[in-house]
Structures are given as structure tokens and as C-alpha cells.
Structure 1
Amino acid sequence: MLHDSLMDSGTQSPRPARDIGTPDVGQRIRRLREERGISLSELARRAGVGKATLSGLENGTRNPTLETLWAVTAQLGVPLALAVGTGPVIRGTAVEGVLLQVFEDEAVTYELYRLTIPAGATQVSPAHHEGVTEHITVFAGVLSAGPQDAPLRAGPGEHLTWRSDVPHTYAAIGDQDVHASLLMRYPHR
């Protein structure tokens, strides 16, 4: 089923992925898609987003959710940073993050984020490309995160790691916002 934006399982509506306009994001996605020889229709189908949504994203007329950007970049086989750059706040339906740094080596790209998840909020994120892992350190609050069918739990000072090439969740448990760091590891294809 195609969606204009991927929704979480909670009651919140999707929020735009960035606080600023997206023409540069759309241009990057179009360039990455064209470099791979994938049509707009085919990428929309693979990512599970509407063709109009992807066209609007590429043309800078739509502000996608973070989940939509992750679905698209997963199908392109690239880290999110190649599409959004570093610095601005990016938002999912529950998770708010700031991409702080991108680290490259011969076989792997790492992205370091500062995350905030409001108390009681839940988000389901699409699978990233094969071999991607996520590593979260919680500084405040209690986090439930990991594969959708087997989430893990961590409190302040604790760490979670999982393969995120499957649908996965993030949830702030209890009445305190979660503050955490997220390190994403993308093996090069």
C-alpha cells in the first residue's frame, strides 16, 4: 500500500522532517536516484511512498517526514546524511533529531544524532538497507527501541544496539522525555 507519509502506530500525525525548506534535499534525492538509474515511479514503489509525494519532495514543494526520508534513502542504499546534510532539526512522527556529524571510512558511513522523544510518544520507522545498525545511548528517560517484534529497553546511562534493516520502533516510556544519542552505521553497498 502506498502512503503519502509513513505513520507511526500512535495517534500523532506526521510532522515535516526538517525545520527548513527542502529544495536542497529534493535535489540530492533526485541526483542519487538518477545516478542509480531508478525511475521516480520505481523508487516510490520500492520505498512505499506515493509517487506524488516523491515528486513533491524532489521538486522542493513537500516537506516529508523523517520516516519517508529513511524509506527513500534505504531504497537508494545511502545514509540519510547524503540527502539531508548536517545541522538542522529533522523530525519523525515522534523522534526529533539533530544530525551532528558524519564519519566516513572505506567500508562504512556513521551518522551521529542527538535525539529527543517526548514522553509517551511512539514511532515506527521503516527498515534501512541491509546491514545497517543503530546504537543508542540514553541520557534521560526510559527508551523502548529496536526491532518492531522484539524492542529493547534502556534507562539513563544504558545502551541499545540492533540491526535496523527491519521495521523498528522508538518509544519514550513513562512521563519523562527521552534524551539520547544515536549512532547509525551504514555499510557501503
Structure 2
Amino acid sequence: MDADMAGRVGSRLRELREARGLSLSELARRSAVGKGTLSELEAGRRNPTLETLYALATALGVPLSSVLHATAPRLPAPSPESVSGRAVDAVLTERFEDPSAVTETYRIRIRAGAAQESAAHAPGTTEHIIVLTGHARVGPAHAPGPVVGPGGHARWPADVPHLYEAVEEDVEALLVVRYPR
């Protein structure tokens, strides 16, 4: 993440936190992100990981794309914004809102031999993956589904901890996350 994006994300985090009447301490407690880390993120002096952004977005009760961009009914990314975690690199490609849900589309890479457990999102959230290359194991952390290969699709509840794992080589995929209103 470049410095400009870190600054925009930090400003957006502060805006969302303040709109909900939360102190830095309270958001840090709800997200399990250190208060010092949160302060540095809001000031744009620190690059957040994918895991940190998801923890903060969940604690704020918003989809990840609300932290990456200002809210709009249909908001394609003006330029691809990339964020990385322990095993997953994600680029938000589309955000769509309708009265029933916010839907985000990401182009993701799961790095070879790596696995990442994501924390639960808001109640009712679902994720869908279409694997383009490689072989992935995805789904609820306690019971991931079978391996999904090129052209394959999987769907799982994302309101429980869930797993992304590249079985052998890098996995390139499309990920759709749907947050109900």
C-alpha cells in the first residue's frame, strides 16, 4: 500500500469511527487492534494488513470497501487498491449497493503453501470464490470444503472464522463478499 492510500484509508477510518461516536480506545478494544497501531493508521503513518482492516471494518459494522473508498451506490475503484495479509493479496475491483446488501468483488492471490484464517464478518455475510488458476481450500475454518481447482466455485458463510489456503501453487481467483443490510 502506498503512502497516499495509507493516508486515505487512515482518514476514512477516523471518519467512520467518529461517525459512530467511538473513541480510539473503544475501537481498539472492539477490534483487538492496539490503540497505538490504530492511532498510527488513522494518521496515515502505518500500512494496515488485510487482517487489520477486516478487524476494524467488522468492529465498525461496515464492509471492507467502506474503509477503502467513500460510500456510493456503485463505486468502481478509480485505480486498483491492493491490500495484503499473511497469505492473501486482494484488489477491490467493484463495490455495489442495493437496498438488501453491499456486494464487493476482489481479485485475489493466495500465495503458494500459505494459509490464512479470517475472522468472522457481520452476521449473514457470505463469500463466493471462482478459482482461475491453482487449487484452493476455502470455507469455514472448522470445516473447510474440498479443494477447488480452475473454473471451480465455492460458497461459505463468512460470519464465522474462515480459511483461505493455496494447496500447492499460487491461486488466482475472484472473490465476492456479500454483506446483508
Q: Secondary structure at the match of 2:10?
A: helix
Asked whether 1:180 is paired with 2:173, we answer yes
Asked whether 1:95 is paired with 2:79, we answer no
- Give 2:73's aligned residue: none
Shift of 1:163: 1.1
Alpha-carbon distance between aligned partners in 2 of 1:60 and 1:39, rounded to the nearest angstrom: 18
Shift of 1:53: 0.8
Q: Secondary structure at the match of 2:160?
A: coil
Shift of 1:66: 0.5
Report the AA paired with residue 121 of structure 1.
A
Alpha-carbon distance between aligned partners in 1 of 2:81 and 2:22, rounded to the nearest angstrom: 28
Superimposed CA distance per residue, residues 162-188 of structure 1 (whole angstroms, 9 cap, x where no aligned partner): 1111111111002x2111100000112
Which one of 150, 161, 171 corresponds to residue 155 of structure 2? 161
After TM superposition, the structure 1 = structure 2 runs for residues 117-128 of structure 1, keeping only pairs within 5 Å, are 117-128=110-121
CA contact (8 A) 1:20 1:88 kept: no
Count the aligned residue pairs. Answer: 170
Q: Secondary structure at the match of 1:114?
A: strand
Q: How large is the Cα RMSD of the aligned pairs?
A: 1.2
Shift of 1:92: 1.0
**TM-score, normalised relative to structure 1:** 0.86
After TM superposition, the structure 1 = structure 2 runs for residues 38-77 of structure 1, keeping only pairs within 5 Å, are 38-77=22-61
Report the AA paired with residue 143 of structure 1.
A
Alpha-carbon distance between aligned partners in 2 of 1:94 and 1:20, rounded to the nearest angstrom: 22
Q: What are structure 2's unaligned runs of at least 5 residues?
A: 70-76
Misfit runs of 4+, over 2 Å: 18-21
CA contact (8 A) 2:3 2:44 kept: no
Shift of 1:20: 4.5
